[in-house]
């Protein structure tokens, strides 16, 4: 269908179907027969009295241009008619016959206008701008914008209410079930055959009795470690010269170690912060049985050699320690403490710095770990 407002100048030809409107008159020379040409360009006029032979005329209608259907909800603005899927616009009509230069120009303009009108409208593409990194003035810059303070921290907009947790009550029985496991405390001796730390509770709130079957080197080490725990040491011995200057060398001051005759009754104050060690080195029989003990007081009885005279001392002690024993000593202590034959055999093979610790019917074989000051006592021996 031709577009409105575009002038069309079709050339009428007899016996030729017309497309697009009524034909227009074309000037002719007298006595000349003019046949229609296939092109739209103007044809030269033959001289008078000649007959111009033209090839057979084939008229092709203009090829329709398919128009895309309108988008849903879109109205096509055109010549007043509505485009549908069944309706297609038809380009400029075929021009039959010769045209002048003006007519050819008008036909070309009409074809261009028709082609432009048939192209679908293209929506403009949006312009994309690349994202910009955070600049100064945001929370990254830390200037206080968007709820941030000057040092980059967020500003609190409101105060949160404090949590209110109700009180919980528990019975005495439930509280008794609560407990926190703690590592072993007391006097650290060394490590056992399983490479675990070995220690003993040398000082307790109740009176404590400990027996040591060993020599001078062993009870000097135990006395030195008792001083390290803050205890006072009272030595009951028939050879006080062996302890002369021991307290000053160990603690750097006097009054921490004192020596007394074996049968002298002495009251030694003791507390949890300052316990007392009463060391008895009086021979094969051990300490006198009439010596009273109080809280946080520990009596350490040294038996340089184990015989039947020392059996009562073993029986009344809560902790028994022994250096390497002979076979007779091992058999005696095994029968007294009801130990296995295997434990008796272990006691005969201890190293010079080893101790057998018997507590609560269980035996433990420990190797002493010596500090630098303890190494000044000499080589381990019994």
CA max distance for the chain: 177
User: Which segment, 55-59, 65-69, 88-92, 341-345, is predicted with the most confidence on average?
Assistant: 341-345
Percent of the chain residues past pLDDT 70, beyond the cut: 55
Q: Give the pLDDT score at 16.
A: 45
What value does the mean pLDDT take over residues 190-199?
A: 91
Within 10 Å of residue 325's Cβ, how many Cβ atoms?
Answer: 24
Q: Please tell me which of 39-43, 63-67, 92-96, 362-366 the model is most confident about, judged by mean pLDDT.
A: 362-366
- Pull the structure tokens for residue 180: 């926190």
At 291, the pLDDT band (50, 70, 90 cuts) reads confident
Higher pLDDT, 93 or 275: 275
Percent with pLDDT over 90 in the chain: 42
The mean pLDDT value of the chain amounts to 73
Predicted TM-score (pTM) above 0.85: no
**Each residue's pLDDT tens digit, 208-229:** 999 999 999 999 999 999 999 9
User: Per-domain residue ranges for the chain?
Assistant: 189-375
Instruction: Please give the Cα distance from 57 to 43 (Å, whole number).
Output: 15
Q: Does the domain made of 189-375 have the CATH classification 3.40.50.1580?
A: no
Cβ atoms 261, 236 nearer than 8 A: yes
pLDDT, tens digit (0-9, with 9 covering 90-100), for 161-190: 676 666 667 788 887 777 665 544 689 999
Q: For residues 278 and 236, is the Cβ–Cβ distance under 8 A?
A: yes
What is residue 129's predicted lDDT score, i.e. its pLDDT? 63
Q: Is the dihedral of CA 181, 186, 192, 196 positive or negative?
A: positive
Which residues partner with 210 through β-bridges? 300, 319
According to DSSP, residue 86 is labeled: T
Query: Cα separations (Å) of 300 from 46, 116, 173, 189?
Result: 154, 120, 38, 16
Task: Report the 3 state secondary structure along 121-182.
Answer: CCCCCCCCCCCCCCCECECCCCCCHHHECCCCCECCCCCCCCCCCCCCCCCHHHHHHCCCCC
């Amino acid at each position: 269908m031709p577009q409105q407002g575009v002038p069309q100048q079709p050339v009428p030809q007899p016996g030729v179907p017309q497309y697009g409107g009524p034909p227009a008159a074309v000037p002719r020379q007298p006595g000349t027969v003019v046949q229609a040409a296939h092109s739209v360009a103007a044809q030269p006029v033959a001289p008078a009295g000649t007959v111009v032979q033209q090839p057979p005329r084939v008229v092709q209608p203009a090829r329709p241009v398919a128009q895309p259907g309108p988008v849903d909800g879109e109205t096509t603005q055109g010549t007043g008619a509505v485009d549908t899927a069944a309706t297609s616009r038809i380009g400029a009509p075929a021009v039959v016959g010769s045209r002048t230069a003006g007519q050819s120009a008008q036909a070309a303009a009409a074809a261009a206008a028709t082609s432009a009108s048939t192209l679908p409208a293209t929506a403009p593409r949006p312009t994309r701008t690349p994202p910009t990194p955070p600049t100064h003035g945001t929370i990254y810059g830390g200037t206080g914008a968007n709820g941030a303070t000057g040092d980059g921290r967020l500003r609190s907009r409101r105060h949160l209410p404090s949590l209110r947790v109700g009180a919980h009550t528990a019975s005495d029985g439930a509280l008794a079930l609560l407990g926190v496991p703690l590592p072993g405390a007391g006097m650290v001796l060394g490590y056992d055959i399983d490479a675990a730390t070995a220690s003993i509770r040398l000082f307790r709130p109740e009176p404590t009795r400990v027996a040591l079957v060993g020599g001078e080197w062993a009870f000097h080490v135990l006395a030195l470690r008792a001083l390290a725990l803050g205890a006072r040491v009272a030595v009951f011995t028939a050879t006080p010269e062996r302890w002369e200057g021991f307290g000053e060398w160990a603690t750097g001051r006097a009054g921490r170690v004192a020596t007394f005759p074996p049968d002298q009754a002495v009251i030694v104050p003791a507390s949890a912060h300052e316990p007392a060690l009463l060391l008895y080195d009086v021979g094969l029989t051990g300490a006198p049985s009439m010596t009273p003990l109080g809280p946080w007081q520990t009596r350490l009885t040294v038996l340089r050699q184990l015989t039947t005279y020392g059996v009562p001392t073993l029986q009344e002690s809560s902790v028994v320690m022994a250096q390497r024993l002979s076979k007779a000593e091992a058999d005696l202590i095994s029968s007294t403490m009801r130990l296995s034959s295997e434990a008796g055999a272990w006691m005969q093979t201890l190293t010079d710095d080893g101790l057998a610790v018997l507590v609560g019917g269980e035996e433990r074989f420990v190797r002493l770990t010596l500090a630098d000051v303890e190494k000044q006592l000499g080589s381990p021996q019994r």
